[in-house]
Chain A
Amino acid sequence: MKMSNMIYPIAKDNDGKSIWKFLVGEFKPKGKLLTPFNIISLPIMLLGLVLIIIRFWKGIGSITNLTQEVPWGLWIGFDVVTGVAFAGGAYVLTFMVYILNMHKYHSIIRITVLNGFLAYVFYAGALLLDLGRPWNVINPIIGNNFGTSSVLFLVAWHFLLYMIAQLIEFSPTIAEWLGAKRARKILSGMTIATVIFGITLSTLHQSGLGALYLMAKDKIHPLWYSEFIPIMFFISSIFAGLSMVIFEGTISQKVFFNQISEKNHRTHDDILHGLSKICSVAMFAYFFLKVIVFIHGKHWQYINTSMGYWYLLEILGFVLLPMLLFFSSYRTRNIFMIKLASIITILGIIINRLNVTVIGFRWDVDIRYVPSWMEFVVTLTVIFTELWIFRWVVNRMPVLRESPSWVNEEK
């Protein structure tokens, strides 16, 4: 506890010290510059930046392979639709910790909410790259005009409101970093309200992302189209988000080892163990729903086709298999298996979201859409930029490490 006073100089005596001096100091890089991650990510980010400039100069077609039949490609299908599913961990964990009062998971709540918040900010940012007329993006917000019959209108508003809710949920951490005691008290007092609001918004826009495709009934392969897409997107976002929490947590434990207290290191396996149980239950519900939709839709004739095999691989290899792994490793407390299952689940979610949005979308047209290498570079640029910001925040704010001592003194 004495340590934290040294880490947070302005928390102790912020009355005397200039906040600007502190902030300027915080913007300087900490740690080594030539890490493998930096060496890989920097050139890609620079290349991505050049491509983004070309895109705004010469049009979207200059760097993407989008067609008139497939107007939404990798940037929507992966960056937005898949990415948001992975950000689902934030609403599931805030539900568990703040609503169900499962205290065990409290130590990972901050990093999960930070992850969720950054994911949303960056995927909303990636969305701007995909808009043909991005300067009009404020139209649905300012009322020029409100397209209230549009699912996208709903998703846009929910995105915006949820980003604000997540920022408020995370804000006590920022206040602790700045040593703003009064602000911290006010902001943490808002937590429950924003959590309730945030969970409601998440429920609606996780399913809303699926509902976007309801009108594309004739364009999506029948094995993936059903009127239950919204519900399936919602349920799968639960285990998608938690699998990401398991995966990220495992990496964070290594990368930010020195920030995590002894106690939280010890409880981490316990947390993964608990999450694996929730994953397996949610995945069972999802699998069950998938089977019902399949039988109800009378889709047997599609099974013996190449798309049918692909469908079976997704359902059996990337839903049923990790579900069983989660379940059995919960029984045997096999942490390695839990991590393995989370990785398979993450791959499965990527496959599923892309099947609905890209692979199974207009699978019948002559000229199939295949993303260009430039679309991949821009996607990587978005992800790397997010990771840079993430690392910056975790290295400075009490996200993984203990809050400064004045927080506990106040209680």
Chain B
Amino acid sequence: MGLDRRSFLKALGFAGATIAIGKSFGAPQMKESDIEFYGILYDSYRCGGCQSCEIACAEAHGLPKPIDEPKIGVQRKTDETRRVVVNSYKTSKGEVYIRKQCMHCNEPACAAACLTQAMHKTKEGPVIWRGSKCMGCRYCMVSCPFDIPKFEYYSANPKIQKCDMCYDRIMKGGIPICVEICPAEAIIFGKRKDLIKEARKRILENPTVYVDEIYGEHEAGGTGFLYLTPNPINELGFSTSIQKSSYPELSKGFLFSVPTVFVLLPPILLGIYEATRNNQLKEGDENE
């Protein structure tokens, strides 16, 4: 069995093509200064837990109306029938309401995980889901550190449900329905940069009301949804294990090693093959 040089070169060419496809391997990257994403600032001090945002969201997206209310000690979770929930927490500063929905990360793990870019970080900021591309593998759910994408397990044509910051409304020059409807102005919509400035201003003006921290400024590499809270976040049902750097960063090292392996391993294997060829001839003599 001699080496067929032609077919080997063919194989190498194939490998080359794979590398060419993989030119953009690695997480979608953006410098902090470039980010002009839209975002939402949520001020839990102003939120009265009225659920207007939940009801409006459900109506706007054809989902069932919420039937339960925020209750202390009960963790309501987003699922395939609701994209946003408001929970209530008992703290040293009284009852505090906290909304939970997609965080619209600057570098979302779900979008980096998606092999068809069905989960997509738009250049405007919202992370949206595109059904025509999605194959329902649920890798976005495995990867999302906030456990946000939800899957319709009881459907033959299942969708991934999650907040999309009312992307279609934004594209028409509008604002998200929950922001529009909120009677307490607890949520405001705008450029992420401006929202951070606004949050800082509020903290500075009312240092006794807010903790000196904007949840979402650095979490998971920065998120589009920002929280102002009167209590440290670990008292408010947030996961405390969320890392400050982005999650796609975690698999970058592996993805970068792929072209290297593709370039280096075949010649090494070929070299070993050539070097051990004599063995084959000798052993072949013994056997035949």
Q: Select one of B26, B138, B253 contacting A132, CB under 8 A.
A: B138
A-contact bits for B239-253, CB 8 A (1 contact / 0 none): 101110001101101
A388 close to B (CB within 8 Å): no
Q: Is B112 an interface residue (CB 8 A)?
A: yes
Q: Is the CB of A150 within 8 A of B112?
A: yes
Which chain B residues border A133 with CB–CB below 8 Å? Answer: 131, 134-136, 157-158
CB contact between B280 and one of A60, A68, A103 (< 8 Å): that residue:
A103
Which of A130, A149, A189: most chain B Cβ within 10 A?
Answer: A149
CB of A267, distance to nearest CB on chain B (Å): 10
A59 to B155 alpha-carbon distance, docked (Å) = 4
Those of B100-140 within 8 Å (CB) of chain A? 109, 111-118, 131-139
Q: How far is the CA of A214 from the CA of B253 in the complex (A)?
A: 10
Interface residues on B, range: 35 or more
Q: Do A151 and B254 have beta carbons less than 8 Å apart?
A: yes
- The residue that B142 contacts in the complex, of A144, A196, A200, A216, with Cβ under 8 A, is A216
State in angstroms the CA–CA spacing of A11 and B28 once bound together: 56
In the complex, are the beta carbons of B135 and A215 less than 8 A apart?
A: no
Q: Do the beta carbons of A99 and B269 come within 8 Å of each other?
A: yes
Q: Which residues of B contact A371 (CB under 8 A)?
A: none
Interface size on A, residues (CB 8 A): 71
Q: Which residues does chain A contribute within 8 Å of B15, judged by CB atoms?
A: 197, 200
Indicate whether B10 reaches chain A with its CB closer than 8 angstroms.
yes
**Contact yes or no, A189 B270, CB < 8 A:** no
CA distance A397 to B120 in the complex (A): 48
Q: Mark A192-224, 1 if CB is under 8 A from B, else 0.
A: 111111011001100110011111111100000
Asked whether any CB of chain B lies closer than 8 Å to the CB of A23, the reply is: no
**Residue on B with the closest CB to A195?**
B269
Contact of A230 among B134, B254, B273 (CB under 8 A): B254
Chain A residues whose C-beta falls within 8 Å of the C-beta of B250 in the assembled complex? 214-215, 217, 227
Q: Which of B113, B133, B276 contacts A151 (CB 8 A)?
A: B113
Interface flag for B167 (CB, 8 Å): no
Most A CB contacts (10 A, CB to CB) among B115, B138, B277 go to: B115
CB-based contact B143/A215 at 8 Å: yes
Chain A residues with Cβ below 8 Å from B10 are 193
Q: Which of A129-153 contact B (CB under 8 A)?
A: 130-134, 136-137, 139-140, 144-153
| Residues in A whose Cβ lies below 8 Å from that of B24 | 148-149
Determine if B67 is an interface residue (Cβ-Cβ < 8 Å). no
